[in-house]
Structure 1
C-alpha cells in the first residue's frame, strides 16, 4: 500500500464505462470522397474516425411530404470526449445516418460528449 500517494485528476476513475459504449459508429465529414474507380464524388462523405458510442432514441415522428411518408427520429449519441466534434459532421450507424445538431461536451470532467442528432430526414 502506498501512503501519501494520490492519483492525478487526469487519471482518476471516471463514470464513462466501456460497457455503456456498445455501438461502433462512423464519424464522417463532407469532402473528398472517391468512388470505386478513384474519381472524386461531388457530395461525398469521408470517414475520419470509428468510435464506440451509446445511442438513445428520444422520440420519433412520421409525416407526409410530396405524397410520401417520411419518418424521422431524434437521438442522443454519447461518445468519449473529443475536442474536434462540430455540427458539420455526421454519424453513421449501420444504415442510419445521424445529422449532428448540437455538440454538448462534459466540460467538468472531459469524460464524454453528447451529440444531439436527428435521423431519417436526410443524409447529412
Structure 2
C-alpha cells in the first residue's frame, strides 16, 4: 500500500469502563492508536427521526492492516467522529483494513 494514499491523521478510540470515587461505573473513550488513513464519504441521505430531519453520512476509512479494530470503536479525524459499523480486513494480502463508518452528529458525540 502506498503511503501517499493515507493522507489523513486519525485517532482510534475504544470505550473504557472505569469506576469513579463513588464506585459508579463511568464510560469514557480512550485512545488506542494514532495512525494514518484514507477517508472517503460513500453515501449520504437524510431521514426523519423523532420529527426532525437527520443527515446520515456513511464513510469508508482505510488504514494499514491491524487486528485490534472492532465494530463499535470510534475514529476521530479533527472535530469529526465516526462510529465503526463493520471491519473488512484484506485477508489475502494483509495490506489494509476497510472500516464501514457512520459520521456522528454533534449530539451523539
Same fold (TM over 0.5): yes
Show CA shifts across 1:72-108 (max 9, x none). 2111100000011110311111121111111111111
Structure with the higher fraction of residues in strand conformation = 2
Structure 2: segments with no counterpart, 5+ residues: 19-23
State the TM-score, normalizing by the size of structure 2. Answer: 0.83
Provide runs of 4+ in structure 1 moved above 2 Å. 40-43, 63-69, 120-123
CA RMSD of aligned residues (A): 2.0
Structure 1: segments with no counterpart, 5+ residues: 1-15, 34-39
Between Structure 1 and Structure 2, how many residues are aligned?
A: 102
State the TM-score, normalizing by the size of structure 1. Answer: 0.73
Answer with 1 or 2: which has the greater Rg.
1
